[in-house]
Structure 1
Amino acid sequence: MQSTLSIPDLNANPSPQRIFIVGGGIVGTALAFYLSQAKTNRHIILLDRSLKKSLGSTGHAPGFVGQLNESPVLTRLAQDTVAEYLTVPGGFNTVGGLELASTPAGVQTLQSRCEKACAAGLSAEMISPQDAAALAPDFIDHETVMTGLHFPSDGTANAQVIMSYFMREARARGVEFLEVAVTGFTKKDANDGLAGEIAAIRTANGNIDLTGSTVILATGIWTSPLTGSPGQDKEAPLTKLPVPIIPVAHPYTFTAPRPPRTGKPYPFVRWPEHHVYARDHGDHDGLGSYDHVPLELRPDHSAIGSWPSSFDQVLSEATSHLKNGSAFLAQGRQDDSNPFEAKRPFNGIFSVTPDNVPLAGRVPDVCNLWLCAAIWVTTAAGTAKLISREILREHQEVVSASDEEVLMALDPARFQGVEPEILTAQALERYNNIYNKETSK
């Protein structure tokens, strides 16, 4: 995607009807898509430092969309997201999801999750070790597991295909795109001491005058540094609220290329007791692990971080749980190439929050600022669609009780009054709870 306008163009034609989306990953492009579908005269502009290549977490996400979560809000958003992805040609492959247990406690956990899935209206079934192995025979030795939990309607999202579709459709409806690096914001405080507003977006190529426009930050792992939230070593923060979106390290690796498998595609397989997951990428397999001490990182120009030597052991242990584990590369290395594109072990940075729930909604002390961040591919479309409706909602319009419950859970102000150090510690603890398992002490 090429830029369709310039900063001089924007400053020459100011309008309070403009909506600026900062961030062109799957969340930002989804916002552009849904906002452009509304019957409104709003001028929507998406800003990103790279419109041709995704530099954020979307660019390397493993793509699994598992709809069941311990949080009913996240389950609802994941279900909504799958419904949206299924409308995108080639965007979603319903391969199913499979969770495995090797201990009596693990079996009990999966049985409980099966009951919760059925209560949420999801298709879920407990299956035998033999049936589980038959779904992914290269991954699973039936003698090493006691049971499996199969989710037939889960699957894998092709984030790049979905992003391209959202961008193409949004542009066809008049959304403008500008490739520029956003470096910060100029804030104008209110005379009444209440909510201030963003007066300008600062970029590497000059300032963009907002004149009352709306700004949405869909900036993922770069959100906290951009807002300069309390606890960040930056200038005066844009908002007084804490923005505890913590970027963390995460190892992912691949097998060497191989011929595509024939027959039914493998489900996305997870070993929750070991914090390990694997998927079939078509001409190679991928594997990731959460079984390590959480590592907070400050990302630079992309969401691919340097390789910690400790991750070699993490991957070596993770591969031991797969039948074809010896086929995976477990030794990372540092060089100038992109390890994700080279299909080698890489450190993929993504965000966690103190409750593993995104921050999405209006920022109360900055009247023209919204957040839509810390959102995984799993819930991206559902969250973006909901927030788009809320941004465009007229005051007299009634919000459904279901939407109100979700919006309250996503409220960016929910951590107000908690010390940043505590929030960071809570978020890092959540890394080891990705699979609903308490952190080992």
Structure 2
Amino acid sequence: MLQAVGISDLNDNPSSDRIFIIGGGIVGASLAYFLSKEDNDRKIVLIDKYLDKLLGSTGYAPGFVGQYNESHVLTSLAKDTVSEYIKIPDGFNVVGGLELSSTPDGVENLHRRKEAAQSSGLPAEIISPEVAASLAPDFIDAKSVKAGLLFSTDGAANAIRIASYYIREAQARGVQFLEAEVTGFATESNQMTTINCSNGDITLNGSIVILATGIWTSPLTNDIVKFPVPIIPVAHPYTFTPLRPPRSGTPYPFIRWLDHHVYARDHGDRDGLGSYDHPPMQASPTKSAMGPWPASFENVLLEATSHLKNRHQFLVKGPSEDPDEKRPFNGIFAVTPDNLPLAGRVPGLSNLWLCAAIWVTTAAGTAKLISRQILGGAEQEDEALLKALDPARFQNIEDEILVKQALAKYNDIYNRDSK
């Protein structure tokens, strides 16, 4: 159990050498881990509303980590992330990722993706429908697909376990934890001066603040940042089969039907499925990243499950009243106009950094990047990555346009347009 400090304790010992991380999901936990891993004199404090719960997107993430993306920035961050996850006991299972297509154009796209992935240093192999079906026989009917693309080093991350591991390691290195709801900030002379919390204010005395607040980032920055922070929360349906005995043999790869914007995975004691094949829906999360259930999602899931061989086993009706039963749910996550995170120093506020709109796929890699920049250990390739992730890159673009662009990215979430 985490030993939390109080606001009065922090104010009694002010220092400009502190780093405050706001947000305790996988991104905040990664930051606490990597910032404390280096030999430095910084005092690190992680703040979250609930230290014993993961109510943000981390707690509901399906867990697939596909390293190849047509954005070289995301590919680089994902590869670095996997290199860290595989060090964590039971944190990352290298089951592979399998993309399927049933159209001639789709098969051509698989071949393009294979060549590009190999050029980026990732193993990728085109496989026949029969081989694809043999890798996940309950999911795939060989007659329904024309080809598959197998990424053998991809896998499934246990986001909750990874975050918990990073928190434990950070605590062992002296990171402090504050359970508090952050409600806003005060600034003066281009510097953050105060963190306002529901149970008191924290005086910063020049300390660095990093917002790892995911889907709640934009409201927190509205009053202090002079440019758009278009991190748009969106609704997303995910469902399960009922409990079943674990399968024997080789674990199934994580599977994506690219033609239909559907993905599925074996969770061990049940299967899971999600779909992006519906009009994007902007969400307004309050207490958690689980949103209200739109009735239209039942038809979305019914269509999505039709592409799987075991389609009739998946539940499509909305959440039940039993909180312990795994029913279909609306898991809210963030999109941006270019599907890239917002990570780096915030212009105009010398001690504020963002590290948000980051998926499990790139969480550790992005946290390492920001940690190096803050602690002064930047590497040669960091400059290009930070430029691409610049939190101020959407300056002078109207909010309505940015929201429209971000929502449009939802239906092609694997980012085929970003370079």
The match for 1:44 is 44
How far apart are the structure 2 equivalents of 1:130 and 1:362? 50
Letter in 1 for 2:401: I
Q: Which structure 2 residues correspond to residues 69-84 of structure 1 after superposition, within 5 A? A: 69-84=69-84
> Are 1:307 and 2:293 counterparts?
yes
User: Amino acid of the residue matched to residue 348 of structure 2?
Assistant: D
* TM-score between the two structures when normalised by the length of structure 2: 0.98
The residue that corresponds to 2:240 in the other structure is 254
CA apart distance, 1:124 = 0.4
1:383 pairs with one of 366, 372, 389: 366
Return the alpha-carbon distance in structure 2 between the equivalents of residues 108 and 436 of structure 1. 17
Contact kept, 8 Å, 2:266 with 2:272, in 1: the verdict is: yes
What amino acid sits opposite 1:288 in the alignment? G
CA shift digits 1:154-177 (9 cap, x unpaired): 000011111111011101100001
Q: What secondary structure, in the 3-state scheme, does the structure 1 residue paired with 2:4 have?
A: coil
Question: How far apart are 1:53 and its partner, in Å?
Answer: 1.1
> Matched residues in 2 for 1:93 and 1:22: separation?
29
Superposed displacement of residue 279, structure 1: 0.2
Alignment of 1:189-228 (within 5 A): 190=189, 196-228=190-222
CA distance in 2, matches of 1:266, 1:36: 36
What SS is found at the alignment partner of 2:413?
A: coil
Q: Is the 8 A contact 2:320 2:327 kept in 1?
A: no
The 4+ residue runs of structure 1 with deviation greater than 3 A are: 435-438
2:393 aligned counterpart, secondary structure:
helix
Match of 1:421, SS?
Answer: helix
Secondary structure, aligned partner of 1:415: coil
Paired position in structure 1 for 2:334:
351
Hey, what's the Cα distance between the residues in 2 that align with 1:186 and 1:3?
27
Q: How far off its partner does 1:334 sit?
A: 6.4
**How far did residue 436 of structure 1 move?**
4.3
Shift of the alpha carbon at 1:89? Answer: 0.9
For residues 46-195 of structure 1, what are the structure 2 equivalents within 5 Å? 46-188=46-188, 190=189
Q: 1:275 aligns with which of 261, 266, 271?
A: 261
Q: CA deviation at 1:207?
A: 0.6
2-structure distance, mates of 1:213, 1:81 = 27
Aligned residues: CA RMSD:
1.1
Q: Is the 8 A contact 1:272 1:435 kept in 2?
A: no
CA contact (8 A) 1:306 1:334 kept: no
Q: Distance in 2 between matches of 1:225 and 1:436?
A: 25
Tell me, yes or no, if the aligned pair for 2:156 and 2:254 is still in contact at 8 Å. Answer: yes
Structure 1 Cα separation of the partners of residues 226 and 308 of structure 2: 47
Give the AA of the match of 2:238. Y
> Is the Cα contact below 8 Å between 1:3 and 1:179 reproduced in 2?
no
Are positions 1:332 and 2:315 aligned together? Answer: no
Displacement, 1:197?
A: 1.1
Aligned partner letter, 2:413:
I
1:167-195 CA deviation, whole Å, 9 max, x = no partner? 1110110000111111111111x2xxxxx
The answer as to whether partners of 1:275 and 1:435 remain within 8 angstroms in 2 is no
For residues 265 and 80 of structure 2, what CA distance do their matches in structure 1 show?
Answer: 23
- Identical pairs, percent: 64
Which segments of 5 or more consecutive residues in structure 2 lack a partner in the other structure?
Answer: none
TM-score, normalization: structure 1?
Answer: 0.93
Query: Could you tell me how far 1:404 is from its partner in structure 2?
Result: 1.0
